[in-house]
Structure 1
Amino acid sequence: MRRLPPRTFAALATAGLLALAGCGTETGGPGGPSAAGDTTRTIRAQKVMQLTRTHEETGMTLLEGPAFRPDGGLFLVDVTAPEGRPKVMRVDVRRKTVRSVHTDGRGAYTSAQFSPYDGRLYLTDYAHGEIVSLAPDGGDPRTFFSGEVDGARMNPDDIAFDKAGHLYVSDSRGLSEGTEHGRVVRVDRDGGKATVLADGLAATNGISFDEAYRGLWISELTQNRISYLRLGAGGDTGSELGTGGDTASRHTAIRVDGGIAQTDSIAVDADGNLYQGLHGRPALFVYDRYGEHLATVEVPARAEGLDSATNVAITPGGTKAYMTVSGPAGGYLYTFHALGKGTRQSNGG
């Protein structure tokens, strides 16, 4: 596959790709007040290890999409890794080791998720509008989906799987133009059919089912808001047979006071709490299903050169959480104790 030149990454940055897209507990302290004021709990995350350094070829590093395999291995992606550097990595969090799983000369992968249907690792290639999959060991790369959906190519960012293995994709279309053309697209698990469930979104980024699989939480990067999309019995926004792009069941659920930071990926724990990643601040905001700001997860104030906490994975069945944090200082993995236990909806995306 051809090498992706630095100018391509510069173009992607201009287009807004790089704006997308990481243990102790105390209250207050040197991290500063949270967006909800001094009454909001502050959780101090602790560094696990450094995974990447700034790439000379692309001028940055950006970690995303942490996801646990059933065997306990933690997989994640580096969005800006050049050819020859790890684009998909596996981390042993107990031994604090990392190894490369996959690289190529084309993809700019913004998320990773394991399918409950076939067990393969699915990646979104934002730059080329594709979804690809790998064997659990990183081999056997396949293009799962490419092409247009309702006349427009996707800019796929994050993925959520339903219980049957169908994909729900945040399509950040329109980001580079500053237009609200973002979508939520459902792709059947065999890749044969893609349906727009919602459109008119402001740079759709994070996407995750709620704890009961009744609806989707969706973050909109350029409006700093989290919307809720209720699904029908057939996994769409209408009746069991579906109505395609019906958006009547969508509403703005949470307005995020992020300041210069923007809403990135979303994870949901077993209690229904939302973990909202931030691009532009190395922190996560935690909300309950009613929009109450419960906590802010911060890296220590002494951790310089970090400016984004894009995503989080909570250990399945446990509360140990791992977030991807990046900036000029490199790409790091930090850990903290989540408010609820981990499930599939708190595992990458």
Structure 2
Amino acid sequence: MNADRSTRCHARRRRAVAVVGLGIALTGCAASPTQDSSTSQDSVAPAGVAERVLQLTSVHEETGMTLLEGPTFDHDGTLYVVDVAAPAGEPKLIAVDLDSHDATPIFTDNTGAYTSAQFSPYDGRLYLTDYSGGRIISLTADGDDPRTFAEGPINGRPMQPDDIAFDTDGNLFVTDSAPASYPTGEASGRVLRFDRETAEPTVLATSLPNPNGISFTLGYDALWVSQLDANRIDHLKLNDDRTAVVSGHTAVHVDGGTTQTDSNAVDASGNIYQGVHGKPTIMVYSPEGMHLTTVTVPSKDADLESATNIAIRPGTTDAYMTVSGPAGGFIYQFEALDIGVRQSNGG
């Protein structure tokens, strides 16, 4: 990876948060029977072009940027997104009606820099990761009753929670980001598990090169974890009660060049939709690591620098990605290869 580019990418995210305040080996996950056999060929499908739905934000004068993240659907089909770079007083969580294109500010505060959002299957509340504040909060879908769920050092080190995924019981699995200084910096990122009731943390994996995206496999028996500083996706096999990683390996090497692997999601066939920081692109891979297709934005849509994350509306193939850059923050839509499931719903 180009060291200068890596430094700039980290600087952009650190700037966004500052101004507002396993080496392990394993077996692969088999594809679902619902997977279209046409996606199993050696050739890569033609790249898809996403359609712009609406613009949600402009570059904030206070922070010099906008960065949309964490798309997630509620039961009524409303899409929620966070703006990592929103300053105090401006919307940090926004609800979008995709039929009317109405956008409603839901939540803001003075210090948080929120990088992901997910609804809990246990209590129905919306959970946000505060990258700068080293905490996880929850609130209602209306933005009321904010509570701190977890914060503070874990095993003696402050956390930088980035993305979040829930298991079927409502326990939280979170990437704990930690950029390393190249070429001699030691990788120190982690994957954390939080008990749904006590918020008791467990460190599932350590010494990771800046983990970012996190999604469960279809069987909830393993995690797909993307590594921002390594342009790869790891497959971490969990034990039966999902309290420990029993084995793992690097499953997908992403040819990112000057770009980096950001957040990810999984469809009903187990395909992995990998967001990209540095270019408005989504890379799609089969569970066996085959590159299936690439989703881009129209070439005329200039000044866009990332497609950080996606959500596929459950029960449909309507996929929505958060795209940001000097032109502003946007929602784009494309057709996914299979329908959305819970693992497709942002994070």
Taking structure 2 as the reference length, what is the TM-score of the superposition?
Answer: 0.87
Number of the residue aligned with 1:209: 216
* SS of structure 1 residue aligned to 2:192: strand
Go from structure 1 to structure 2 and tell me whether the alpha carbon gap of 1:68 and 1:159 turns closer, same or farther (over 3 Å shift). Answer: same
Number of the residue aligned with 1:257: 255
Change (3 A) 1:176 1:130: farther
2:303 match: secondary structure: coil
Shift of 1:79: 0.1
Which residue does 1:292 correspond to in 2? Answer: 290
Q: CA deviation at 1:19?
A: 8.9
Q: How far did 1:175 drift?
A: 4.3
SS at match of 1:223: coil
The alpha-carbon distance between structure 1 residues 127 and 258, as it changes in their structure 2 partners (threshold 3 A), is: same
Pairing 1:116-131 to 2, within 5 Å after superposition: 116-131=121-136
What secondary structure does 1:345 align onto? helix
Aligned partners of 2:74 and 2:139: how far apart in 1?
A: 13
Q: Please report the RMSD computed on the Cα atoms of aligned residues, expressed in angstroms.
A: 2.0
Distance in 1 of aligned mates of 2:200 and 2:97: 36
Residue 200 (structure 1) aligned to one of 201, 207, 214: 207
Q: Of the candidates 11, 16, 25, which is equivalent to residue 14 of structure 1? A: 11
Residue 74 of structure 2 is matched in structure 1 by 69
Residues 190-247 of structure 1, C-alpha deviations (whole Å, 9 max, x = no match): 2431000001100000000011111000000001010000000010235xxxxxxxxx
1:317 maps onto 2:315 in alignment = yes
Question: How much has 1:345 moved relative to structure 2?
Answer: 0.8
CA contact (8 A) 2:179 2:229 kept: no
Amino acid at match of 1:257: D
Is 1:335 aligned to residue 322 of structure 2? no
Which consecutive residues of structure 2, in runs of 5 or more, have no partner in the other structure? 1-8, 18-41
1:172 & 1:179 partners in 2: Cα distance? Answer: 13
Runs of 4+ residues over 2 Å off in structure 1 = 12-20, 37-41, 173-179
In 1, Cα distance between equivalents of 2:11 and 2:98: 34
Give secondary structure in 2 for the equivalent of 1:249.
strand
The Cα shift of 1:72 comes to: 1.0
- Tell me whether 1:163 sits opposite 2:164 in the alignment: no
CA drift of 1:97 comes to: 1.1
TM-score (norm 1): 0.86
Which residue identity lines up with residue 208 of structure 1 in the other structure? S
Flag the 1:287–1:13 CA change in 2: closer, same or farther, 3 A. Answer: closer
- What is the CA–CA distance in structure 1 between the aligned matches of 2:12 and 2:56, rounded to whole Å? 26
Pick aligned residue for 2:49 from 28, 44, 51: 44
For 1:162, the aligned partner's letter is D
262 and 174 in structure 1: CA distance in 2 versus 1, 3 angstrom threshold? closer
Secondary structure in 2 aligned to 1:70? Answer: coil
Aligned to 1:281: 279
Aligned counterpart, 2:33 = none
Aligned residues: 314
Paired AA for residue 202 in structure 1: P
- Which residue, 74, 90, 96 being the options, matches 1:91? 96
Partners of 1:305 and 1:286 in 2: CA distance? 23
Shift of 1:315: 0.7
Does the CA contact (< 8 Å) of 2:69 and 2:309 recur in 1? yes
Compared with structure 1, are the counterparts of its residues 228 and 117 closer, same or farther at alpha carbon in structure 2 (3 Å cutoff)? same
CA 1:18 to 1:258, structure 2 compared with 1: closer, same or farther past 3 Å?
Answer: farther
Question: In the alignment, what sits opposite 2:34?
Answer: none
Distance 2:297 2:64 in 1: 23
Letter in 2 for 1:214: D
Matched letter for residue 344 of structure 2: S
CA contact (8 A) 1:68 1:313 kept: yes
1:205–1:66 Cα change, 3 Å:
same
* SS in structure 2 at match of 1:17: helix
Match of 2:265 in 1: 267
- Of the three residues 96, 99, 108, the one matched with 2:113 is 108
Residues 10 and 179 in structure 2, CA contact (< 8 A), matched pair in contact too: no
Find the aligned partners of 2:15 and 2:215 in 1 and give their Cα distance: 21
